């Protein structure tokens, strides 16, 4: 069994996927489907939020492909989810069950039993929990409380490209960096949409307030910024405002036949843009190791795998990403 949430916030989310994730789609036979809904930006740029000068330029064309074998892409998260969902629907080995909120679970030695809030019961050889940064399963397995706040808030907005009236690059990923804040934007859906994300330090990161209060605060933070930054700021939708948080690294992501993956296991800040990448890599790694043992769950995947291979392969890497993302963020 695999458990994951569906949230309305996905409608405003987009992912930048570095080349190292493309091998996962290649292995799954989904490369062409992913590329069909993704964009490959002309470059990844960083500009000074005060004077607009270019600080960093990373070409994403032939030189990057020659070095890393795969392109750098940007994709609307719903489009990526649909590619993965369609692949699941085509598989006779996968049964999709929606609207099944888990209320309880139990590892019974030779299988895992799950009950839902509406009284249904399910069982399986193992349980893979991919239920996000506020994971219900993590609290039962690890019990480390609420996510760790960074002191920052994030705003996500997607608008039709036809409504963009500001003279900024429309074919690249561009990050405007300032003291305690940044704004990043890039095209989506083959140039039809414009994704805009603002992240900023604020004492009100976890507080509820009205739009006017949030707007006044951000206007003050951007008061000395380049005119284009201030113009971009006016486009932000404050209905999707979230406190930015992560979790401390842990050594073990499993207990018996139950395993955490994705943000449930290693929620990270967005500084290295690796959250979605690591979650997808988790899934491939887990699936490959289970397949290598011919679906013998009690043997390698949940015995040798979960106590040897998975902890040695992924937690050290993910914990490194968590640590470095935090350092860069500060």
Q: How far apart are CA 257 and CA 126, in angstroms?
A: 5
Does residue 297 sit in helix, strand or coil?
A: coil
Question: Who contacts 312 (Cβ-Cβ below 8 Å, separation ≥6)?
Answer: none
Give the tokens for residue 199.
């992240």
Instruction: Tell me the whole-structure pTM to 2 decimals.
Output: 0.86
Give the tokens for residue 143.
């019990």
Place of tokens 């990526």: 80
Q: Determine the pLDDT at residue 248.
A: 85
Question: Who contacts 40 (Cβ-Cβ below 8 Å, separation ≥6)?
Answer: 60, 71, 72, 73, 74
DSSP secondary structure code for residue 146 in this structure: S
Residues 97-126: pLDDT tens digits?
A: 999 999 999 999 889 999 999 999 999 989
> What is each CA distance from 113 to 119, 258, 261, 290, in whole angstroms?
13, 11, 19, 20
Average pLDDT over residues 306-310: 48
Residues 66-78: pLDDT tens digits?
A: 888 888 999 999 9
Residues 47-92: pLDDT tens digits?
A: 999 999 999 999 998 998 888 888 899 999 999 999 999 999 999 9
Name which residue leads in pLDDT, 40 or 253.
40
Q: Please, which pLDDT band fits residue 274 given cuts at 50, 70 and 90? A: confident
What ranges in 90-149 are assigned the alpha helix state H? 136-141
Provide DSSP, 210-263: -HHHHHHHHHHHTTTS-HHHHHHHTT--TTSEEEEEE----S--EETTEEE-TH
Answer whether 288's CB lies under 8 Å from 310's CB. Answer: no
Q: How far apart are CA 237 and CA 287, in angstroms?
A: 38
Does residue 207 sit in helix, strand or coil?
A: coil
Does residue 134 sit in helix, strand or coil?
A: coil
Q: Determine the pLDDT at residue 208.
A: 87
Residues 21-30: pLDDT tens digits?
A: 888 899 999 9
Provide DSSP, 91-103: -TT-----S--EE
**Does residue 6 carry a pLDDT above 70?**
no
Residues 194-237: pLDDT tens digits?
A: 999 999 999 988 788 899 999 999 999 999 999 999 999 999 99
- The mean-pLDDT minimum among 3-7, 225-229, 276-280 falls in 3-7
Q: Determine the pLDDT at residue 201.
A: 94
Round the average pLDDT of the chain to a whole number and report it.
86
DSSP secondary structure code for residue 319 in this structure: H
Q: Residue 233 CB: number of other CB atoms within 10 A?
A: 20
Q: How far apart are CA 292 and CA 32, in angstroms?
A: 26
Q: Determine the pLDDT at residue 7.
A: 53
**Rg of the chain over all Cα atoms, to the nearest angstrom:** 21
Name which residue leads in pLDDT, 248 or 16.
248
- Rank 183-192, 279-288, 312-321 by mean pLDDT and report only the highest: 183-192
Percent of the chain clearing pLDDT 90 (strictly above): 58
């Amino acid at each position: 069994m695999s458990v994951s949430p569906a949230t309305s916030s996905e409608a405003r989310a987009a992912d930048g996927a570095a080349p190292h994730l493309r091998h996962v789609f290649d292995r799954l036979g989904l490369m062409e489907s992913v590329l069909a809904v993704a964009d490959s930006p002309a470059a990844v740029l960083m500009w000074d939020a005060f004077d607009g000068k270019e600080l960093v330029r990373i070409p994403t064309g032939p030189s990057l492909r020659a070095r890393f074998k795969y392109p750098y892409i940007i994709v609307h998260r719903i489009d990526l989810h649909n590619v993965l969902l369609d692949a699941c629907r085509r598989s006779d080995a996968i049964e999709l069950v929606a609207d099944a909120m888990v209320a309880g679970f139990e590892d019974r030695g030779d299988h895992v039993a799950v009950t839902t809030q509406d009284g249904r019961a399910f069982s399986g050889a193992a349980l893979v929990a991919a239920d996000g940064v506020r994971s219900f399963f993590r609290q039962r397995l690890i019990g480390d409380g609420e996510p760790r706040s960074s002191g920052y808030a994030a705003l996500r907005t997607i608008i039709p490209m036809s409504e963009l009236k500001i003279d900024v690059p429309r074919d690249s990923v561009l990050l405007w960096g300032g003291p305690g804040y940044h704004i990043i934007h890039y095209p989506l859906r083959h140039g039809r949409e414009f994704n805009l994300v603002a992240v900023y330090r604020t004492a009100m990161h976890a507080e509820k307030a009205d739009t006017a209060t949030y707007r006044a605060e951000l206007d003050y933070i951007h008061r000395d910024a380049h005119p284009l930054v201030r113009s971009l700021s006016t486009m932000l939708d404050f209905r999707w405002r979230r406190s930015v948080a992560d979790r401390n690294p842990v050594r073990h992501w499993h207990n018996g036949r139950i395993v955490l993956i994705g943000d449930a296991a290693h929620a990270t800040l967005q500084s290295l843009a690796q959250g979605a990448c690591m979650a997808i890599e988790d899934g491939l790694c887990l699936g490959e190791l289970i397949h290598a043992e011919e679906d013998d769950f009690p043997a390698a995947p949940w015995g040798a795998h979960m106590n040897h291979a998975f902890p040695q392969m992924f937690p050290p890497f993910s914990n490194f990403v968590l640590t470095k993302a935090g350092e860069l963020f500060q």
